Structure 1
Amino acid sequence: MSGSPLDHFTNPFRRWARANFTTSFLYPLTGVLFFVKHRYMWPLLRARMLPLVVMSIFILIILFLTAYLPQVALLKLFHKGGSAWVNGTFLVLTEGNLIIALLFEAFLVDKTQVDVFDAVMVARGHAELIKVKRPVDTEEPETPLKALGPREKGAVFAPFSFRQLFELVVLLPLNFIPFVGVPLFLILTGYRAGPLLQRRYHNLKGLNKEQRKTFIRNKSMRYEYMWFGTVALILQLIPVLSMFFLITTAAGSALWAADMEDKKRRQENAIDDEYTDEP
């Protein structure tokens, strides 16, 4: 039976939607929910949260007192109405986030992100992947976090990238463009940040530099990483809570990685079933 004439028009749209639509933007948000729901994760945050929050508040106060009004005055040369104040706010928050991220690295909180990522993967049933890099106690430990053994030497969640830092500084002037400047800035910086936020997964999979590039540059993955990175960046611009969201983003990254591993398992099982069913 032939399809409806309408299929001639809708099928290309469906193919485009399947290729370009993604739910990856939800993972930074589900990471927050996972972290809040599972109390065994809280000690990872508690140890450093208070000093880092105080530091974040101090940095933002200094920036808003010293840099906000001069930048708004400069933006008013390009903006009409109140958009200069809005873009100026995003500009200062971005600068604050950059400074906080550098301090985050200095305080070795990246190691905390590694533990968050690995614990979530164990909780989702992918301990075998974590065992590639560190010991995992699978004899019914009290929590997935306590199942983790010592981290491997040089373990990183999202490596510091001078290229990303350079591009962020270069893209900052986009905030001078009224209305569309801020969204463009967030999307373009998210495009670069997305793959870095899953570097731990790539390392666990044993991908070398070329394999990693091939995986990231896949058409569908390119969009997925862009939206994942964009939402993660937006969360990190929320004043005071940026440190919290840096850690919960690691949980979101692991949930996404676990879903990809689950999908791979289902595909492999389906292939095995096909071979089994053959006479």
Structure 2
Amino acid sequence: MSEHPLRNIPQVVVYPTRDTAVASFYPFKGVFYFLRHPYLYPLLRARLLPAVLLSSFVLLNLFFWTFLPQVAFLAIFHKAGSAWVNGTFLVLGEGAAIVALLFEAFLVDESQVDIFDAVLVDRGYEDLVRQFRPVSEDSLNNPVRRLGKPTQASVYGPFSFRQIAEFVILLPLNFVPYAGVPLFLLLTGYRAGPLQHWRYFKMRGFDKKQRNAFARKRRFQYTWYGAIYLLLQLVPVLSMLFLLTAAASSALWAADLETQRRAHEATAVQVPDYADDPQEAA
């Protein structure tokens, strides 16, 4: 007798929808985690002043010189006030691209690595971190202080020219009334999401084929995660803070994925305590 189609609904619809919703909440979990764990604050303070000054400089100039011309152009295609809304997101997106280029290339990556590693240590996955740096047993209440200097090249997320190019190319989607901004975030989030787990993939020893397979299996989860991550990057001045909390969120997600993986492996290798001898049973 064939299996009833309705029995597949949980596997096909319910579970994937649940997993996607959970993944999209991780960027916010990262913010809450960062705020509730003061041991991460020194990593923010070291970057705070230059971040605020540079973000403010970039956004003020963009709004002063480009906002009204872009709104005027959008008004050709938009009705009523939607040109102002989409124009605001367009300028914020341009600012986010510039800030990301400057911060991630020159200021943030080392701090993101430290945050990612510290969160994994805090969650009990020191073995992953020790592949790239020593982890001491001192300062047990402060995972950041337990981290030694990296023993090999450590990158949180590689510079992706393709991601930046897609970001710029897709910016005109903001010309589309109402639906343009969500489409822009989802399409750029498709690539941004997996890049946030670059360090986790390195810790797992994945090659390019394995990375792509892992991300493809979680395509919608990474897309929505990336979309929310990019949405937070559009918040004026605070984009630097959210770059750092993103490292915490990706580490929290990696820790949960690792918990699931190890639990699955432990279950798979379990051997029954007792098995009947077939000859005796006969």
Q: TM-score, normalised by structure 1?
A: 0.92
CA distance in 2, matches of 1:83, 1:152: 52
Change (3 A) 1:278 1:90: farther
| Match in the other structure for 1:47 | 46
CA distance in 1, matches of 2:105, 2:194: 21
| Match in the other structure for 2:205 | 206
CA RMSD of superposed structures (Å): 1.7
| Match in the other structure for 1:4 | none
| Match in the other structure for 1:230 | 227
- SS of the equivalent of 1:103 reads helix
Correspondences of 1:258-277 after superposition (within 5 Å): 258-272=255-269, 274-277=270-273
- Paired AA for residue 243 in structure 2: L
- Per-residue deviation, 1:265: 1.9
Correspondences of 1:1-279 after superposition (within 5 Å): 10-15=6-11, 16-21=13-18, 22=20, 23-138=22-137, 141-218=140-217, 221-272=218-269, 274-279=270-275
Runs of 4 or more, structure 1, over 6 Å off, are none
- Per-residue deviation, 1:187: 0.5
Comparing 150-159 and 40-49, the one that deviates more: 150-159
Comparing 153-162 and 39-48, the one that deviates more: 153-162
- Paired AA for residue 246 in structure 2: T
Measured against aligned partners, the alpha-carbon deviations of 1:157-208 in whole angstroms (never above 9, x if no partner) come to 1111010111111111111111111100000001110000110100111111
- Paired AA for residue 273 in structure 2: D
Q: Which runs of 5+ in 2 are unaligned?
A: 276-282
**8 Å contact from structure 2 (residues 105, 159) kept in 1:** no
Q: Which runs of 5+ in 1 are unaligned?
A: 1-6
- SS of the equivalent of 1:96 reads helix
- Paired AA for residue 36 in structure 1: L
- Per-residue deviation, 1:213: 1.1
- Per-residue deviation, 1:276: 4.3
CA distance in 2, matches of 1:162, 1:278: 57
CA distance in 1, matches of 2:254, 2:97: 26
CA distance in 1, matches of 2:60, 2:138: 49
Q: How many residues align?
A: 271
CA distance in 1, matches of 2:130, 2:52: 33
- Paired AA for residue 172 in structure 1: L
Change (3 A) 1:278 1:89: farther
CA distance in 2, matches of 1:12, 1:210: 29
Q: TM-score, normalised by structure 2?
A: 0.91
- Paired AA for residue 58 in structure 1: F
**8 Å contact from structure 2 (residues 129, 203) kept in 1:** yes
Q: Could you say which structure has the larger radius of gyration? A: 2
CA distance in 1, matches of 2:120, 2:186: 28
CA distance in 1, matches of 2:78, 2:99: 28
Measured against aligned partners, the alpha-carbon deviations of 1:75-121 in whole angstroms (never above 9, x if no partner) come to 11111111010000000000000111111034331110000000000
- Per-residue deviation, 1:140: 5.7
- SS of the equivalent of 1:107 reads helix
**8 Å contact from structure 2 (residues 196, 247) kept in 1:** yes
- Per-residue deviation, 1:20: 4.0
